[in-house]
Amino acid sequence: MAETILTVEDLKKYFPIESGIFKRTVGHVKAVDGVSFEIKKGEAFGLVGESGCGKSTTGRMIMRLIEPTSGRIVFCGKDLTAMDKKALRKTRKDIQMIFQDPFASLDPRYTVERIIEEPMIVHRLGSKAERKKRVRELLEVVGLSSYHAKRYPHQFSGGQRQRIGIARALAVNPKLIIADEPVSALDVSIQAQVINLLQDLQKQFDLTFLFIAHDLSVVHHFSDRVGVMYLGRMVEVAESSELYRNPKHPYTNALLSSVPIPDPDYQYDSEELAGDVPNPIDPPKGCAFHTRCPVAMDICRKTRPELKEVAPGHLTACHLYNN
């Protein structure tokens, strides 16, 4: 059994909503509302769910770019939420991020070399000559060429820029890479190439990934396990193939039928997902999904179902599976 690299426990982020000149807090956006999961070393964990369900906020809390409201993040046995600034700075090297928008995430004033070198400079790794050498290796690793080093981001296409972002993330040999919708800004024809690259790199360097996407078909190929979020909560976690063949939660089922995966072995009740995602400022009582659930029962309107194991390694938060 591989060791656990990341454990997220009951993580919450409530963004305050302020009003008036005194910035009085008038309510909270419950962006993440009690999320728990773990990632094993060498695993690719996919996080999916509709827009606004709290995927990016979860990823950014793990990066400590956003301060959690409560909960614990344990990375390589250390509690990130209890770390002082200095310890945190050291740990940051081990968690790198690949961003959604390869146009906004690369500084246009810097050469590709400087961009990829940046995290090595920040973490004081290697001499100047060693860093330059590493940049050239990394460019080859991500399918670009060493002569690209002296160019600027605007000279590259979206797919190439994302490769530069990937090289930058790899530069400091991170233990965990958080990829937040790394291909959704790219042309469909380019998406598969970048996904394939990430998959190759994962195997080649035994990388651990948190892969965020709302397109289930993307996550399906990439991930060993998948977590499904709805309105700030985790509603289902299972091995990827198990989740796709045997979804337990009605929300997962609805997501799957809205993004059919071309495989005759898979069959879903084609229940369309009705209505909009409720407002995270005032989420529904009980199960947050009950307002859109085709099989909601009385208890769903009153009691929030806990995430629990319903088959080996398969967790879901749904009253259908209580007894």
Give the Cα-Cα-Cα angle 126, 130, 131 (nearest 5 degrees): 75
Rank residues 117 and 236 by Cβ distance to ligand ATP and give the closer one.
236
Note whether 291 binds ligand ATP by CB under 6 A: no
Is the Cβ of residue 56 or residue 291 nearer to Mg ion in the bound state?
A: 56
Q: How far is CA 65 from CA 18, 61, 181, 190, 238, in A?
A: 21, 6, 17, 29, 27
Structure tokens of 265?
């072995």
Label residues 288-313 b or e (16+ Cβ within 10 Å = b): bbbbbbeebeeebeeebbebeebeee
Q: For ligand ATP, which is the closer residue by CB, 49 or 119?
A: 49
Question: Which amino acid makes up residue 149?
Answer: A
- The footprint of ligand ATP on residues 239-258 (CB under 6 A) is none
> CA–CA separation, 75 vs 286, rounded Å?
31
What SS3 string covers 159-218? HHHHHHHHHHHHCCCCCEEEEECCCCCCCHHHHHHHHHHHHHHHHHHCCCEEEECCCHHH
Q: CB under 5 to 8 A by kind: which of ligand ATP, Mg ion, none does 227 bind?
A: none
Question: Does residue number 103 form part of the binding site for ligand ATP (CB under 6 A)?
Answer: no
**318/307 Cα distance (integer angstroms):** 7
Shortest Å distance, C-beta 53 to ligand ATP: 4
By CB under 6 A, tell whether 227 contacts ligand ATP: no
Q: Which is nearer to Mg ion, 101 or 239 (CB)?
A: 101
| C-alpha–C-alpha distance, residues 12 and 90, integer Å | 24
* Residue 57 contacts Mg ion per CB under 5 A: no
Residues 133, 138, 140, 144: is their CA dihedral positive or negative? negative
Return the number of the residue (56 or 252) whose C-beta is nearest Mg ion.
56
Rounded to a whole number of angstroms, the minimum distance from the CB of residue 298 to Mg ion is 34
Smallest gap from Cβ 299 to Mg ion, in A, equals 31
Q: Using CB under 6 A, which residues numbered 26 to 55 contact ligand ATP?
A: 29, 31, 49, 51-55
Q: Does position 280 bind ligand ATP by CB under 6 A? A: yes
Stretch of residues binding Mg ion (CB under 5 A), selected from 14-22, 23-31, 48-56, 66-74 = 48-56
56 scored as a contact of Mg ion (CB under 5 A): yes
Q: Which is nearer to Mg ion, 156 or 209 (CB)?
A: 209
**Closest to 235 in 3D by CA, of 6, 73, 30, 37:** 37
Beta strands 225-230 and 233-239, pairing class: antiparallel
> Rule CB under 6 A: is residue 105 a binding residue for ligand ATP?
no
Contact of residue 176 among ligand ATP, Mg ion, none (CB under 5-8 Å per partner type): none
Residues 194-223 that bind ligand ATP (CB under 6 A): 214
Decide whether 56 or 240 has the Cβ nearer to Mg ion: 56
- Closest to ligand ATP by CB, 30 vs 131, is 30
Shortest reach from residue 278's CB to ligand ATP, in Å: 10
Per the listing, tokens 């319903």 go with: 310
How many residues sit in the footprint of ligand ATP (CB under 6 A)? 13
Q: Which residues bind ligand ATP (CB under 6 A)?
A: 15, 29, 31, 49, 51-57, 214, 280
